Amino acid sequence: MQLPLSQPVSGSGPVLGILAVLASLVLLASVGLMVYLHRFESAENLKRQSANAFWLEETLRFHLRRLEGDLEGLALQSAGGPPGRRPATVALGGSIRAYEDGLKAHGWRPAGQAMPAELRACWTRSVASAGNEDAIGAMLDMAQGLRRPAYTAPLTTAAQPVPDEIWMAVPIFGQGQYLGAYIAVFSLSRSIELVVPAWFRLAHEIRIVDPEQAGDRGDAGEPEDHERQFLASVDMPGSDTYLQVRSLTTQHASEPRALLAVALLFLAGMAVSLLLLRKDIVIRRRAEHALASQVALRRSMEDSIGIGLFARDLGGAIVYTNRAFDEMVRPLHGVMLGRNASLLGWPGTMHGSQEEPEFEFEFRRTAHGEPLRLVTQTVPLVQDGDIHIGWMTSVVDVTERRRAEEAAQAQQLRMDAAGRLVAVGEVASTLAHELNQPLGAISSFASGLVNRIRLGNIDSPQIHGVAERIALLAEKAGEIIRRVNAFARRREMERAPVELRAFLRGRWAGDGSTPVRIDLSALPGHLIVLADVVLLEQAIHNVLQNAIEAAQGLPTPPAPEVLLKAYRSDDGSEAVIDVSDSGPGIDATALHRLFEPFYSSKSGGMGMGLSIVRSILEAHHGRVEVVRRGDLGGATFKMRIPCIEAT
């Protein structure tokens, strides 16, 4: 939102005249400085290009001398070294030979013998071109006659029509006798690529020329600076070879250009100062209009939000309100701007200080209107960073939010109640499942006792024994009810140290009446677990009962078999009790639902046994796992319980 800006101020005619004079002066000064700058840069470019050519000569000379030293060391090693002289150290640093493809071939050629095998391929390729064999022979004669390294001129081959291949020989003498020469072949252009930095090759064009092409060293005619060509001599005894160096870029010194820029800057500054004076009034007017626009925009934003805002000074007088606040309080209190905030009667507005920054309270727009839930938050109003001038309060209507929270809380209470009903159902189902066995046994004993009393073929001691067994089962049923109730309510279990070997032998020793076989051979002699004996027994009993029923469910032999096996886990932290059966195993589709409450694969089953097993083991910080096909062909259940001691 921007307000219309004023038109630029008039009276620009004199300013334009002054600007025209200044522009003429700037133009004349610029032309003079440019002429001077061109002459100065031309001279500097000539000096720099000459220095570059000289630097290239020195660089190649350095690397060629290093190469000669390396080859001399190799020659001394190959010749065995002259008497009284130790072979030179073969250093790779700085030499062309240090690069992987610096040399095409190299080898030792004893005096009077043919080219060695290392050089035979290059020799055959080179002598195929006319004049190369004579050039190589002349090089060898020069090296032997001058007793110093010698080179050929760049040679051409069938594969390389441009002269580029260099042969060099480093002679070795012993006791005044010529022993041979170490010969190397390299590409001059490739050597230049290896030893000359990339930045130099990118900025210069380097060509190999012979003496006839070399001519003068770039002094003929008056070409442009970037077209001047300088010659660099390649110091190779026996070869007059030059490198033609031409700069591909034109570099200019920064000092003259900086001088020109400073002069132009001062001249331009005079014109800019007048422009700044002219624009000052326009800028001020724009700033005034921009400020008014920003104030209007901020006011529009504050009136558009649904949060009420009001500010009061240190005395409590309201100095600012927005539209949302006015709509909240106007029906009951009228316009509050300029009045004291204590008239609202809201918490936090009765005193000048502000001890509590946030309040929530009920407010009615009218005397008999629906109450609203408002939340006020007050912060100090600070000017210039540290001057406290009053308080700023925001007012948020949270009526709908509180209604939604209350509805969610009521829904949660209903869900909790439904959950408790489900829990009661699960406890009832658990009790029915757990009490089924002892109550069935009591019913069987009672029926048998009644039948024998009716027939009169039972005496008092037998009646006493049956009654004791009925009482024992009734006591066990009561214990199950108490423990299931405690487990359902998540009370603390009565856990105590249990010696696992004695516990298993005492309860499932096997009297031949069931197909259960016990294997405790892998169990340590004194393995202690912390467990509730009744619940642990109930868990193992449920798994054994399911295994027996699965083993006996096969319609054909072999005979049903159930194996109870106990051992210690590999890391020693758990006791593992395996129950395997010879039944049909577990179907893959039922595997993931096996421990769900009320799920059973047996007809008439309640589906609570394995769910109880898992709950009991998890309460003991253990777990239960199942393998579809175990040792006996059927399923294997692995019950894991943390152990506290083992010997």
- Residue 17 — pLDDT band, cuts 50, 70, 90? low
What's the CA gap between 200 and 190, in Å, rounded? Answer: 15
pLDDT score, position 6 = 39
In the chain, % of residues over pLDDT 70: 75
- Residue 326 — pLDDT band, cuts 50, 70, 90? confident
What's the CA gap between 88 and 78, in Å, rounded? Answer: 11
Tens digits of residue pLDDT in 358-384: 777 777 766 566 777 888 888 888 887
Mean pLDDT for all residues in the chain: 77
**Of 234, 237, 127, nearest in space to 171 by CA:** 237
pLDDT score, position 149 = 92
How would CATH label the architecture of 407-488?
Orthogonal Bundle (1.10)
555: its two tokens: 């319609």
Pick 462 or 489 by higher pLDDT. 462
Whether 634 shows a pLDDT value over 80: the answer reads yes
Residue 148 · residue 171 · CB < 8 Å? yes
Right CATH for 306-397 from 1.10.1370.30, 3.40.50.300, 2.40.160.100, 3.30.450.20:
3.30.450.20
pLDDT score, position 26 = 65
- Residue 213 — pLDDT band, cuts 50, 70, 90? low
Mean pLDDT lowest for which of 8-17, 245-254, 310-319, 390-399? Answer: 8-17
Average pLDDT over residues 146-151: 91
- Residue 533 — pLDDT band, cuts 50, 70, 90? confident
How far apart, in Å, are the Cα atoms of 296 and each of 184, 310, 320, 325? 88, 17, 15, 18
Average pLDDT over residues 213-223: 50
What's the CA gap between 29 and 39, in Å, rounded? Answer: 16
Pick 250 or 266 by higher pLDDT. 266
Whether 420 shows a pLDDT value over 80: the answer reads no
Q: Where are the domains of the chain?
A: 52-247, 306-397, 407-488, 496-646
pLDDT score, position 108 = 92
State which of 77-91, 174-188, 250-264, 547-561 shows the largest mean pLDDT: 174-188
How would CATH label the architecture of 496-646?
2-Layer Sandwich (3.30)
pLDDT score, position 215 = 56
Tens digits of residue pLDDT in 548-565: 888 887 766 677 888 889
pLDDT score, position 576 = 94
pLDDT score, position 641 = 94
Whether 202 shows a pLDDT value over 80: the answer reads yes
In the chain, % of residues over pLDDT 90: 6
pLDDT score, position 8 = 43
**Model pTM?**
0.36
User: 459: Cβ–Cβ under 8 A, 6 or more apart, which residues?
Assistant: none
pLDDT score, position 424 = 53
Pick 121 or 257 by higher pLDDT. 121
Tens digits of residue pLDDT in 19-51: 566 667 767 766 776 777 777 777 777 888 788
How many other CB atoms sit within 10 Å of the CB of residue 482? 11
Complete edge-to-edge strand list for the sheet that includes strand 204-209 = 204-209, 239-247, 229-236
What's the CA gap between 510 and 517, in Å, rounded? Answer: 7
Question: Where does 303-370 show beta strands of DSSP type E?
Answer: 308-313, 318-321, 358-364
Whether 418 shows a pLDDT value over 90: the answer reads no
Angle between helices 254-304 and 13-79 (to 10 degrees): 120
State which of 77-86, 385-394, 422-431 shows the largest mean pLDDT: 385-394
Average pLDDT over residues 447-475: 82
User: Is there a common fold for 407-488 and 496-646?
Assistant: no
Average pLDDT over residues 144-150: 90
Average pLDDT over residues 160-189: 88
3-state helix/strand/coil string of 230-280? EEEEEEECCEEEEEEEEECCCCCCHHHHHHHHHHHHHHHHHHHHHHHHHHH
What's the CA gap between 30 and 427, in Å, rounded? Answer: 102
pLDDT score, position 415 = 62
Whether 93 shows a pLDDT value over 50: the answer reads no
- Residue 538 — pLDDT band, cuts 50, 70, 90? confident
Tens digits of residue pLDDT in 255-303: 666 776 776 677 677 667 767 776 777 788 888 888 888 888 888 887 7
What's the CA gap between 302 and 359, in Å, rounded? Answer: 22
Residue 121 · residue 115 · CB < 8 Å? no
